[in-house]
Amino acid sequence: MKNTLIAPSVLAADFANLQRDVEMINNSAADWFHIDVMDGHFVPNISYGMPVIEAIKKHATKPLDVHLMIEKPERYIETFAKIGADIITVHYESTIHLHRTLRQIKAAGCKAGVVLNLSTPVSVLEDILSECYMILIMSINPGFGGQKFEEITYTKVSKLKEMITKQGLDTLIEIDGGVTDKNAADLVKAGADVLVAGSFVFNAQDPVATIENLKKITAV
């Protein structure tokens, strides 16, 4: 039976009650905290900065999966590692020297991953896969929570899984955007290993039960 990892997106949490929501994730069946960092340039929105991540780390008992939606992420890798990132993913579209940036993340003591926007084909990863702990496939356009899941994601996941298997790697596939109990099982069948859920978890009447249910329906 597969243990699909669930990473609630803190972007959808209640920032007036952040410690409460962090404790909720700690006490739930969730595996990671998903932390979205936005700079207002690479994506048209700004999220939270380093002091907030530092505060989350202080209370979190699970790994921080930090998704950098920022231009030239290589400028800040060491800082994010220092404040508590366990995994750092950077957008393929955001850095010119991707290979160097992945090596930089690993040298800083974190697991390294690449994120692909909706319009970027998985084929661009062929020569870089062996450097990646994880590939994050965006199933919405990055920058805003609560968007509708895009169906093309299933095909991209299947193609990527095929590529990973062909190269004999164990690179994880993560999905971010519009994940719910309606598409979670199908995403795992297509090859996903990690599911990010934001609004679906935090807008639920019982977030802990919602996370538990996602774990159950993805144990295929």
Q: Judge whether residue 43 has pLDDT over 80.
A: no
CA-closest candidate to residue 25, choices 181, 215, 160? 215
Report the distance separating Cα 187 and Cα 171, nearest Å.
16
Report the distance separating Cα 167 and Cα 164, nearest Å.
5
Tokens describing residue 102 = 């992945």
Task: Exactly one of 31, 65, 176, 193 is catalytic; name it.
Answer: 176
**Band of pLDDT at residue 2, cut at 50, 70 and 90:** confident
Contacts of 165 (CB under 8 A, 6+ apart): none
**Band of pLDDT at residue 144, cut at 50, 70 and 90:** low
Mean local confidence (pLDDT), 47-75: 93
Angle, vertex CA 214, rays to CA 218 and CA 65, nearest 5:
95
**Band of pLDDT at residue 146, cut at 50, 70 and 90:** low
Structural domain tally of the chain?
A: 1
Q: Judge whether residue 109 has pLDDT over 70.
A: yes
Task: Exactly one of 36, 39, 65, 193 is catalytic; name it.
Answer: 36
The dihedral region occupied by 143, where left means phi > 0, alpha psi between -120 and 50, and beta the remainder, is: left
Task: Please give, one letter per residue, the 3-state secondary structure of the chain.
Answer: CCCCEEEEEHHHCCHHHHHHHHHHHHCCCCCCEEEEEEECCCCCCECCCHHHHHHHHHHCCCCEEEEEECCCHHHCHHHHHHCCCCEEEEEHHHCCCHHHHHHHHHHCCCEEEEEECCCCCHHHHCCCHHHCCEEEEECCCCCCCCCCCCCHHHHHHHHHHHHHHHCCCCCEEEEECCCCCCCHHHHHHHCCCEEEECHHHHCCCCHHHHHHHHHHHCCC
Domain assignment of residue 183, given as a range: 5-217
CB 215 within 8 A of CB 6: yes
Q: Judge whether residue 205 has pLDDT over 90.
A: yes
Q: Judge whether residue 108 has pLDDT over 70.
A: yes
Percent with pLDDT over 70 in the chain? 97
Q: Judge whether residue 68 has pLDDT over 80.
A: yes
**Band of pLDDT at residue 145, cut at 50, 70 and 90:** low
Q: What is the CATH number of the domain that holds 31?
A: 3.20.20.70
**Band of pLDDT at residue 147, cut at 50, 70 and 90:** low
Is 206 assigned a catalytic role?
Answer: no
**Can you tell me which residue has the tokens 């404790």?**
23
Is 86 assigned a catalytic role?
Answer: no
